[in-house]
């Protein structure tokens, strides 16, 4: 077991790809940069007989509430042998500050490890899915609101401004920067034609950023509405604009992620036909 500050190499990508094939996540490509949650920070590699069997990433920057974030993954062929427990133990020992560790899919084994480590279940992120046969109503926009596509090089500041105000309560999303948005624009999945902005009297007041994954699954990636424009149904309308776009381009399966305690958003998505398919859990020391 060893920590390193250098970016991990091909063996870590191979482990992440194996986990994706088995679990459906993380969202890692065969080439290109690793997903955002594995960049920078510190990297813990656990080998057994020369084979990489486990990997953990520690993000010391953490979330908006000062929690350092850990993602820990054991290779599917080497689970049930104590490697996950060792990864979590070493991650906890690496820092004495506030720390959160994610369990994607709410696996019983992860819950057992968290229990032994005396970690509290503090956050749930719901994955919701929309069936291909679900009928969608047409969006109803306020009379003075128009929809247009995102323009790289022009709209970054406006989107980040709306995002910061809409998600000032969110541990991660509210911290999105212009530089990070620009970096996302060179990702293979980025498509400005699926990134919709709502303008009201010449000012951007909301957006719906859709995403199409390499496996063809569509995602309601981020829907943000400026608090000054909330309460008039703009969030639902923007959601429908993106959903109709994904349907038009032939995407049969659509997902989204939403905080379990965000009752208004969960209610909107449920009324549109989304159903909870998985739950991700954050455990905290």
> What's the CATH number where 111 sits?
3.40.630.30
pLDDT > 90? residue 1: no
> What is the mean predicted confidence (pLDDT) over 244-271?
95
DSSP string, 234-255: HHHHHHHHHHHHHHHTT---EE
Count: domains in the chain: 2
Task: Say yes or no: 183 and 59 in one domain.
Answer: no
Task: Say yes or no: 92 and 136 in one domain.
Answer: no
Q: Where are the alpha helices (DSSP H) in the chain?
A: 10-23, 83-93, 108-116, 156-166, 178-184, 234-248, 263-271
> What is the mean predicted confidence (pLDDT) over 127-153?
95
> What is the mean predicted confidence (pLDDT) over 255-269?
93
- Looking at residue 105, its pLDDT comes to 87
Task: Say yes or no: 268 and 188 in one domain.
Answer: yes
| 235 belongs to a structural domain | yes
pLDDT band at 214; cut points 50, 70, 90: confident
- Looking at residue 31, its pLDDT comes to 85
Task: Say yes or no: 11 and 91 in one domain.
Answer: yes
Task: Say yes or no: 142 and 114 in one domain.
Answer: no
pLDDT band at 253; cut points 50, 70, 90: very high
Binding-site residue set for acetyl-CoA: 72-74, 223-225, 230-236
Task: Say yes or no: 114 and 134 in one domain.
Answer: no
Last residue of a domain, one of 118, 147, 174: 118
Give the pairing type, strands 218-225 and 203-212: antiparallel
Task: Say yes or no: 65 and 92 in one domain.
Answer: yes
> What is the mean predicted confidence (pLDDT) over 223-241?
93
Structure tokens that stand for 250 in this block: 């032939």
Q: Which of 77, 78, 84, 90 is nearest to 109 (CA)?
A: 84
> What is the mean predicted confidence (pLDDT) over 3-28?
91
| 124 belongs to a structural domain | no
Q: In the block, which residue shows the tokens 């906890």?
A: 92
Residue 102 to residue 123: CA distance in whole angstroms: 9
Residue 14 to residue 185: CA distance in whole angstroms: 25
pLDDT band at 25; cut points 50, 70, 90: confident
Domain containing 208 equals 130-279
| 123 belongs to a structural domain | no
Residue 219 to residue 9: CA distance in whole angstroms: 28
Q: Where are the alpha helices (DSSP H) in 30-126?
A: 83-93, 108-116
pLDDT > 90? residue 134: yes
Binding-site residue set: 30, 72-74, 172, 211, 219, 223-225, 230-236, 257
- Looking at residue 107, its pLDDT comes to 87
């Amino acid at each position: 077991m060893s920590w390193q500050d250098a970016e991990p190499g091909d063996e870590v990508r191979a482990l992440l790809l194996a986990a994706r094939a088995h679990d459906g996540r993380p969202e890692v490509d065969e080439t290109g940069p690793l997903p955002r949650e594995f960049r920078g920070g510190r990297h813990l590699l656990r080998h057994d007989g020369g084979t990489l069997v486990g990997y953990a990433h520690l993000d010391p920057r953490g979330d908006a509430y000062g929690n350092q974030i850990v993602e820990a993954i054991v290779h599917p062929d080497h689970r049930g042998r104590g490697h996950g427990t060792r990864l979590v133990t070493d991650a906890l020992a690496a820092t004495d500050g506030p720390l959160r560790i994610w369990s994607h899919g709410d696996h019983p084994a992860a819950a057992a490890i968290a229990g032994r480590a005396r970690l509290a279940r503090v956050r749930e992120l719901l994955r919701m899915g929309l069936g291909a046969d679900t009928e969608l109503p047409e969006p109803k926009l306020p009379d003075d609101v128009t929809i247009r596509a995102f323009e790289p090089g022009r709209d970054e500041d406006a989107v980040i401004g709306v995002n910061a105000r809409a998600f000032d309560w969110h541990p991660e999303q509210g911290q999105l920067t212009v530089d990070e948005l620009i970096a996302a624009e060179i990702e293979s999945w980025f498509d400005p034609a699926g990134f919709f902005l709502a303008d009201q009297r010449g000012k951007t007041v909301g957006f719906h950023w859709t995403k199409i994954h390499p496996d063809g699954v569509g995602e309601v990636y981020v829907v943000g509405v400026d608090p000054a424009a909330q309460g008039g149904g703009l969030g639902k309308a923007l959601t429908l604009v993106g959903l109709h776009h994904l349907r038009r381009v032939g995407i049969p399966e659509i997902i989204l992620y939403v905080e379990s305690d965000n009752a208004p958003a969960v209610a909107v998505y449920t009324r549109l036909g989304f159903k909870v398919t998985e739950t991700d859990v954050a455990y905290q020391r």
